Amino acid sequence: DTGVSQNPRHKITKRGQNVTFRCDPISEHNRLYWYRQTLGQGPEFLTYFQNEAQLEKSRLLSDRFSAERPKGSFSTLEIQRTEQGDSAMYLCASRRESYNSPLHFGNGTRLTVT
């Protein structure tokens, strides 16, 4: 497998701008997850897709955040009106259908909001 790919690797934006990140999962994986990670902390769950359906969304997730997975392939995460507190590493992971299949993570997109 070619692994989970995330683009861009780094993004610097000014407060108030919108940003969009892309995740290409491993091709046969139908489950896709987005996490956010700040320095010194573990990943924090944001949202989860099974194929194209968004099944779970963190209650802590602001409505400025939206994610899509059209056709159940790649996914995008958009943040509108960015704030300095959005600065973090955004991680995407995918896995197979079976119950305990492990998560495969990409190397993330590091967002810096100035």
102 binds another protein (CB under 8 A): yes
**CA–CA gap between residue 31 and residue 77 (Å, rounded):** 15
Asked if 66 contacts 78 with a C-beta cutoff of 8 angstroms, the reply is yes
Which residues make beta-bridge pairs with 24?
Answer: 5
83 binds another protein (CB under 8 A): no
- Furthest-apart CA atoms within the chain: distance in Å: 41
Task: For the CB of residue 84, give the shortest distance to another protein in the complex, in Å.
Answer: 22
**CA–CA gap between residue 75 and residue 22 (Å, rounded):** 6
Residue selected from 1, 56, 78, 97 as contacting another protein according to rule CB under 8 A: 56
| Number of residues lying near another protein (CB under 8 A) | 25
Which tokens in the block code for residue 84?
Answer: 């300095």
41 binds another protein (CB under 8 A): yes
In the complex with another protein, the residue whose CB is nearer, 22 or 80, is 22
Interacting residues with another protein (CB under 8 A): 4, 31, 33, 40-45, 48, 50, 55-56, 58, 91, 93, 95, 100, 102-108
